[in-house]
A and B are shown apart, each in its own frame.
Chain A
Amino acid sequence: MSAAQEPVQTFTPREFHRQAHDALGNPQIRANFRKAMDGLMAKRRDVFSDWDLEILRELGANIRLRALAKLPDLLERLEANCRANGIQVHWAESGDEACRIIREICERHEAKSVIKGKSMVSEEMHLNAHLEEAGIEALESDLGEYLVQLNEQTPSHIIMPAIHLNTDEISDIMHTRTGTERTRDVDYMTAAARAQLRERFMAADVGVSGVNFAVAETGTLCLVENEGNGRMTTAVPPVHIAVTGIEKVVEHLRDVPPLYALLTRSATGQHVTTYFNMISSPRKPGEHDGPEEVHLVLVDSGRSNIYQDDELLDTLRCIRCGACMNHCPVYTRVGGHTYGTTYPGPIGSILMPHMMGLEATKDLPTASSLCGACGEVCPVKIPIPDLLVRLRREAVGEGRGNVPGAGVKRTKKEAAAWKGFQWLATHPGVWRSSTFIAGKLQALMPSKLGPWSDYRTAPRPAKVSLHALVKQHKAKHHQADKADGEERS
């Protein structure tokens, strides 16, 4: 059955296990992700080879940390400079509030049609559904987002939204939804999408985009892209609304080049993207194109809560490159939809619990072998594995209790088991005799160890523990030494 004919699936983080099971059983999904992630990892390796990557990452982390250290001041400065430039600034505490603000701007302009550049924040707040309910059509224009929208899905990757689909599946979707020929010719499909979307750009009443970096010093919104749909979205319709999380602000314009260098290289292994689009004002008197109005919507949506905690703060350094998912062995195997969250993969697992609460997302922080690949490639050095462990602590009620849903995963049984482990491991005499007993009772050990032995042979306790072996070994040596000594004398 082709992707285009499959019933619409909805995903939720509550069903991570079932969704992972389904994805693992789907050879097409497995193959699509493996191929894509292998390619992205190789490209990243190549493009950083002529850079002093560690120094650049250090600078990236440092710039983001500085921005966060001054966050409230920078937001005020950004607002003041945007306003001075003629950009209208709005603040939203929640995604719903941001949706409302955007809808009201649309309604003020009697907008019927909104064209969208890629924006994960707009995905996070489900803007499209909100606008559709108000009778405003919201059309994605990034090719990947467009395909995903045609297929009534959500993005499976924050940079490459349609990465779960292969060429044949995309051909089917475009054929079914837009009437193009079935083909494996990517140029044909791209040209068809170009033609379809160009008409929509011209007709759109409002363009909605995200922001990669918002520069406080100049009141500038920076957008990174390859396709040109971002430039279209922000320059063709009469109104441009940019929506972004409050953490995206940077202090100075000179902070931008290093972050941009890190972003493109980490995301897709490009040394640069086709376009870097820096917007500082609406159309000025005498200018001939560009929107008459530019709005910036600053969304909190849990971010200021993350901001309270010194350790969790690192989460906000993220520049949304997606390298952590590209390098994640779990993401590579289960794909983005399995997570059931706007941001999948490692960054999603440390971010979404703050947005959705641990009750809904409790399986995400554990969906990692803590292999460290995400932390190793993060361009701003977010210690993702440490943050996953922190959220595990919060989930079992041994953290600071400042993450929504803290303690939700604690069960008496599990807590008692770890107390038991603690007792055993702090009573060395008992520990030694229990390893001794385990060795003696080797034959009686169950050959099945729950889920472990569905796929692997269960390990058998050794007949003699290391403690005992070393003791014997030392005794033998001691005797040998003594014998040696006696012979010589």
Chain B
Amino acid sequence: MTPVKLYPPKPEKVYFFGTCLIDLFYPDAGLDGVRLLEREGIEVLFPQDQTCCGQPAYTSGYHDEARAVAAAQLALFPEPWPIVVPSGSCGGMMRTHYPQLFAGTELEGHANEVAGRIYELTEFLVHVCHLRLEDRGQPEKVAMHTSCSARREMGLADTGPTLLARMGQVELVEQARAAECCGFGGTFAVRHPEVSAAMVEDKTQAIEATGAKRFVTSDCGCLMNIAGRFEHQKKSVEGEHIASYLWRRTS
């Protein structure tokens, strides 16, 4: 049985681990996440030496390289504040796989300690901040794609939809096979491009069939994949990180 996770009270400060995809391609989503946290009265610490959680190397089987990269990140969070990650994929890597990666090494204890402080952004907003949202946007339908890592690795199928349900003008529509992977899978999309393409094609069709003109996701890998497919087909459906969506409509 999945143990019930106990959440701490809202802290004074948090660390923010922005992830490499956000850093490079979607920095606004990262900043919007920071603003959402700050609006709750939390001071957000952003270690400038952060790079990447190491997951691409990890899932490709290059664990020595992944461990070196991960070790560099472990050093960034000396104070006992929670570490908020705006991605289920990177969050899952740090919470679940860091302990595996460092098992039996000198850094095992440190990795376990850091892993215990990892929260995915929507998880943190729902369960720690008990976020209230005042929706100032126009009424609209939106679809959500929860990443597989958030859904299964971190057990967070509901936090994104919970936040959207608090938006007064937003109607959340569920696409067919909502729990199915969009086909990103990091290097999977490069190693098996045709299979990945078939998966994202089905995902875009399912989202389009809901009638929503916008979808949100809590993972930029999925966003890049699904939105990239829509754009490639010149479809008008647009994607956005959930942090940006929430911030844009409530600020």
Q: In the complex, which of the residues A425, A456, A458 contacts B72, with contact meaning CB atoms closer than 8 Å? A: A425
* A334 engages B195 (CB within 8 Å): yes
Which of A95-103, A251-259, A315-323, A361-369 has 4 or more CB atoms under 8 Å from chain B?
Answer: A361-369
The one of B1, B31, B50, B148 that contacts A372, using a Cβ cutoff of 8 Å:
B148
Cross-chain contact A421 with B61 (CB below 8 angstroms): no
Contacting pair B51 A456 (CB below 8 A): no
B5 to chain A, nearest CB (A): 15
Are B195 and A456 touching (Cβ within 8 A)?
Answer: no
Cβ-closest chain A residue relative to B176: A38
Pairs across A and B, CB under 8 Å, 10 listed: A21-B194, A329-B180, A369-B188, A389-B59, A391-B61, A425-B52, A428-B51, A451-B193, A455-B201, A457-B232
Complex Cα–Cα for A431 and B201 (A): 33
Contact across chains for B68 and A333 when beta carbons are under 8 A apart: no
Tell me whether B224 and A459 are in contact (CB under 8 A). yes
Stretch at the interface among A111-119, A144-152, A213-221, A462-470: A462-470
Contact indicator per residue, chain B 148-178, by CB within 8 Å of chain A (1) or not (0): 1101110000000000000000000000010
B107 at the interface (CB under 8 A from A): no
Give min CB distance, A344 to chain B, whole Å: 14
Q: Kindly state the separation between the CA atoms of A279 and B113 in the bound complex, as whole angstroms.
A: 52
Indicate if the CB atoms of A470 and B199 lie closer than 8 Å: no
Given the known inter-chain contacts A428-B51, A466-B18, please indicate yes or no for A398 contacting B1, CB distance below 8 A. Answer: no
Question: A435 and B24: CB pair below 8 A?
Answer: yes
Choose among A55, A395, A456, A469 the residue that contacts B225 (Cβ–Cβ < 8 A): A456
Q: Are A426 and B69 in contact (CB under 8 A)?
A: yes
B209-251 vs A, Cβ < 8 Å mask (1 yes, 0 no) = 0000000000000001100110110000000000000000000
The 8 Å CB contact of B62, one of A418, A457, A462, is A418
CB distance from B188 to the nearest CB of A (A): 4
Kindly identify which residue among A333, A391, A395, A466 contacts B23, using a CB–CB cutoff of 8 Å. Answer: A466
6 shortest interchain CB distances as A-B pairs? A369-B185, A456-B228, A392-B61, A451-B193, A371-B181, A372-B152
A432-465 interface bits toward B, Cβ cutoff 8 Å, 1 = contact, 0 = none: 1001001000000000001111111111111011
Contact A369 B26 (CB under 8 A): no
Residues of A within 8 Å of B130, CB to CB, are none
Number of residue pairs across A and B with beta carbons under 8 Å?
199
> Are A373 and B148 touching (Cβ within 8 A)?
yes
Residue in contact with A451 in the complex, picked from B24, B177, B190, CB distance below 8 Å: B190
List the A residue with the shortest CB-CB distance to B62: A418
A457 vs B69: C-alpha distance when bound (angstroms): 29
Contact bitstring B49-91, A, C-beta under 8 A = 1, else 0? 1111010111111111100110010000000000000000000
CB distance from A463 to the nearest CB of B (A): 9
A372 touching B149, Cβ below 8 Å:
yes
Complex interface bits, B23-44 against A, C-beta within 8 A gives 1, otherwise 0:
1111110110011000000000
- Contact between B181 and A24, CB atoms less than 8 A apart: no
CB distance A431 to B34 under 8 Å?
A: no
Q: Are A467 and B59 in contact (CB under 8 A)?
A: no
A369, B184: Cβ atoms closer than 8 Å = yes
By DSSP majority rule, is chain A's interface helix, strand, loop, or mixed? helix
Chain A: CB-nearest residue to B72: A426
Do A466 and B27 touch across chains, with their CB atoms under 8 A apart? yes
* A455-B229, A464-B27, A470-B34 as given contacts; A389 in contact with B200, CB under 8 Å: no
| Interface flag for B205 (CB, 8 Å) | no
Residue of B52, B58, B188, B229 near A456 (CB, 8 A) is B229
A473 and B194 within 8 A (CB): no
List residues of chain A with CB within 8 A of the CB of B198: 24, 30, 333
In angstroms, Cα B50 to Cα A467, docked, is 9
B183 at the interface (CB under 8 A from A): yes
Contacting residues of chain A (383-409) with chain B, CB-CB under 8 angstroms: 386, 389, 391-396, 398-399, 409
Once the chains bind, are A371 and B148 in contact (CB under 8 Å)?
yes
Contact at A418–B60, with CB atoms within 8 Å? yes
For the complex, give the distance between the alpha carbons of A366 and B148 in Å: 17
Closest Cβ–Cβ distance, residue A41 to chain B (whole Å): 9
List chain B residues, Cβ under 8 A from A17.
192, 194
Q: Is there contact, CB below 8 Å, between B51 and A424?
A: yes
Interface residues of B in 94-133 (CB under 8 A from A): 100
Inter-chain CA distance A395–B193, complex, in Å, is: 20
CA distance A368 to B61 in the complex (A): 13
Partner among B18, B23, B192 whose Cβ is within 8 Å of the Cβ of A20: B192
Task: Verify if A330 is at the interface (C-beta below 8 Å from B).
Answer: yes
B57 touches A418 (CB 8 A): yes
Expressed in whole angstroms, the minimum distance between the Cβ of B126 and any Cβ of chain A is 21
Q: Does A375 contact B (CB under 8 A)?
A: yes
Could you tell me the distance between the alpha carbons of A223 and B165 in the complex, rounded to whole angstroms? 49
